[in-house]
Amino acid sequence: MRYLLKYGAALSFLALTLSSCREEPTYPNEPEIEFNRVEQFHFEEFGIKRDSLVLVIGYQDGDGNLGLSRTGETDKQPPFNPGSPYFNNFITELFIKKPVAIGSSDSVFVKYVFPVEGFDFSGRFPRLSPDERIEPLEGEIKYSLNITSDLFREGEIVKFNIFIYDRTTPTPNKSNIIETRPIKLFTK
């Protein structure tokens, strides 16, 4: 017991010192993403079926400059200004499964054309690091969107291609493009 008290503090200090020597991971400055999963929740409101989808992607970024502010003017200056291709940093392309020909049992995914020009499911995810420190980051981004039965039919199958941008200026770095699994709409 006497030795435990005598050497306990020294051992604790040594363990703390060794654990703080952990080397930071090395990632490229361009974000890298991977598809993790889709969380799908069904509900109905005012006779319209809705699917709330949470697209979950993993990310790694060498300089940690991911995410854009949703409020204030910080991230609304060029190149992140409204109307710029970099205004949104979570970019989605929606594809829907369609038969190859009328009456055919073969089908392919085709890019979905929204009935309102300029509309899509792209948007902004918030800053992942609270300061401007340059450091590697890794983790998950959960991006939520809602799909309604006034645009899609029950049982239709969709999937997304996704990529993200970082905050590098004057031209943000683009990640690789990933593809979600097929998602069957409005069914349990």
Domain extents for the chain?
26-184
Which phi-psi region, left, alpha or beta, contains residue 66 (left: φ > 0; alpha: ψ -120 to 50)?
A: beta
Cα atoms in the 13 Å half-sphere on the side-chain side of 75: 21
Tens-digit pLDDT profile for residues 139-188: 999 999 999 998 999 999 999 999 999 999 999 999 999 999 999 999 87
Nearest residue to 39 (alpha-carbon basis) of 26, 52, 57: 52
Determine the Cα–Cα distance for residues 54 and 101; give it in Å rounded to an integer: 32
3-state secondary structure of 7: helix
3-state secondary structure of 8: helix
Query: Model pTM?
Result: 0.83
Residue corresponding to tokens 């905050």: 167
Is there a cis peptide before residue 170, judged by omega within 30 degrees of 0?
A: yes
Tens-digit pLDDT profile for residues 93-132: 999 999 888 877 889 999 999 998 889 999 999 998 877 7
Specify the DSSP class assigned to residue 172: P
CA distances from 157 to 4, 67, 103, 115 (A): 64, 30, 17, 18
Tens-digit pLDDT profile for residues 32-48: 999 999 999 999 988 89
Q: What is the mean pLDDT of residues 46-67?
A: 95
Determine the Cα–Cα distance for residues 156 and 94; give it in Å rounded to an integer: 13
Enter the tokens of residue 71: 């409020």
Q: Are 65 and 137 in contact (CB under 8 A)?
A: no
